[in-house]
């Protein structure tokens, strides 16, 4: 609802549009591990119960549930044409807090679930490699670290240190390349 509030919210919108329109739809169509975002999701009660229910052991409870359900053999369907209103952090402090949660939460979940993923008998070796390397390591840890560095260090540095300059095209292409 506030994507046009400032440059920071417009850049977040581009990143999240990519996340939903590409990552979520591709993950859904391939029945890959699905990073449920906790917004506008519909779950079967049997899937919730079989996966062990909603747990508060990390700051990414929604992703925790989705990974546990995937390990139990449940499949996810992403409906890209369904629209839900949401709000992006519009202050640097709120954005920094969100990015910290989005990078630390998956890292903690990965630490807690690594052996459960490795030992799981219902998931093929290929899906185990996918969830460990691509889903957790690249998309949830490395991607967020690079994004945080760009938004929290590089862009603010251009304000305080005039010698650091990002070309106009960089504000669009750098977040796209990172994502």
pLDDT in tens, 83-125: 888 889 999 999 988 878 877 888 888 899 999 999 999 888 9
* Dist CA 179 CA 146 (whole Å): 9
Contact between 34 and 66 (Cβ < 8 Å): yes
Pair of tokens at residue 147: 């994004």
Pair of tokens at residue 101: 């949660």
**Chain segment 2-22, per-residue pLDDT in tens:** 999 998 899 888 878 877 777
Contact between 34 and 62 (Cβ < 8 Å): no
* Dist CA 171 CA 158 (whole Å): 12
Overall average pLDDT of the 146-152 stretch: 79
Query: Residue 31 pLDDT more than 70?
Result: no
- Average pLDDT of every residue of the chain: 84
What's the confidence (pLDDT) of residue 179? Answer: 61
């Amino acid at each position: 609802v506030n994507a046009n509030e400032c440059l920071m919210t417009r850049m977040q919108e581009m990143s999240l549009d990519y996340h939903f329109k590409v990552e979520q739809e591709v993950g859904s169509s391939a029945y890959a591990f699905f990073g449920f975002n906790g917004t506008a999701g519909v779950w079967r009660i049997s899937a919730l119960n079989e996966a062990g229910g909603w747990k508060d052991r990390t700051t990414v409870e929604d992703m925790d549930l989705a990974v546990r359900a995937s390990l139990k053999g449940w499949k996810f369907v992403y409906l890209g044409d369904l629209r839900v209103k949401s709000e992006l952090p519009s202050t640097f402090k709120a954005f920094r807090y969100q990015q910290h949660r989005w990078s630390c939460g998956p890292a903690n979940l990965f630490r807690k679930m690594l052996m459960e993923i490795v030992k799981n008998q219902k998931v093929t070796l290929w899906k185990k490699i996918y969830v460990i390397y691509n889903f957790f390591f690249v998309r949830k840890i490395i991607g967020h670290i690079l994004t945080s560095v760009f938004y929290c260090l590089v862009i603010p540095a251009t304000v305080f240190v005039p010698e650091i300059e990002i070309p106009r095209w960089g504000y669009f292409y750098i977040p796209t390349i990172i994502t």
